Amino acid sequence: MNNYIVYEPSAKIREIARQALKGNWPKMFVGVLIFYTLSTFISEILDSFFVIVRYIPIYGEYFRAEIPYAGALYEFLVMGPLMCGFAMFMLTFFRDKKVNYALNLEGFGMFGKTFCMYLLYSVKVYLWSLLFVVPGIIAVYRYSQCFYLRVDHPDWTASQCINESKRLMRGNKGKLFCLQLTFFGYALLASLPYAIFDNFTETEGMTYVLIASLLWLPMLVVNLYIETATVTFYEIVTRNLVVFNTQGIPYSQPSYENETWEDIQSKKNSDDYQKDENNEEKKNSDEENKAEE
């Protein structure tokens, strides 16, 4: 089955994302805040309380090492359901303009499937990362659509969602990477308060977690923008959303044996194609004349 190649400019996708968020930024920010609270914030709190202490001998002296474990275990168990729930939350908003915070927890209703999805996704990304950093990054983008696909196809297995994401992203991984890269400036500015605090403070424990979380709030606004643009990308690549350029032609066209829209149009303008078209028209005309006689 042929996949669709995304030709929409990143600026156009960001524009569609902004139009979707217009008038809904505060409400959607709360939804993003709920997701990151349930995932990252709780994980950080658990890590600040539950650690394994080890004393490591180095050159005759013992150094104290604290190894957090509770946060990693928590994320392993809940990230699959949370990511699928967040995907459902974002898709419902983008398609129906409905903000339903409870959807963030919908993934727990199919815990087995969402957990297996996250496990398979993590294993594949990890194995590719063993080769080098770049293959790992490519794997992240190759399987990036699987959580949206889980929402749209709840009856599919984890492998089916992973394989479909792989198919959809064939020829589109670089496009999604470049789209998300355009948010780098926003992310840099938003993370500046946290970076300054993290590098110049000696605060530890729960106090550090609370202050760092507050300083990270501007980054959540940027994350909301990025997530909405990513949902827009998914809607385009699955052909749920067709975007037209100023000439009224769709940006994205199906990859017929890896042919681009320009290749198809060029073929249509060729002499052989026109000759075939003329022969077909002449044949139809002769058949109509015979029918009239």
pLDDT tens digit sequence for 181-211: 999 999 999 999 888 887 777 766 677 778 8
Q: Identify the bridge partners of residue 72 per DSSP, sorted by sequence position.
A: none
Residue 70 lies in a domain: no
Mean pLDDT of the 100-127 span = 94
Token code pair at residue 45: 């709190």
pLDDT, averaged across the chain: 82
Closest CA to 128 of 156, 180, 183, 166: 166
Which SS3 state, helix, strand or coil, does residue 5 take? strand
Residue 207 lies in a domain: yes
pLDDT category of residue 264 using cuts at 50, 70 and 90: very low
Place of tokens 């994320």: 75
Cα separation values, 93 from 17, 36, 39, 88, 98, Å: 11, 18, 20, 9, 5
Residue 40 lies in a domain: no
Q: How many domains does the chain have?
A: 1
pLDDT category of residue 101 using cuts at 50, 70 and 90: very high
pLDDT category of residue 113 using cuts at 50, 70 and 90: very high
> Distance between CA atoms of 197 and 85, rounded to whole angstroms?
32
Range of the domain at 203: 4-24+83-258
Residue 74 lies in a domain: no
Residue 61 lies in a domain: no
pLDDT higher than threshold 50 for residue 123: yes
Residue 117 lies in a domain: yes
> Distance between CA atoms of 246 and 243, rounded to whole angstroms?
10
pLDDT category of residue 118 using cuts at 50, 70 and 90: very high
In the prediction, which pLDDT does 127 show? 94
Residue 136 lies in a domain: yes
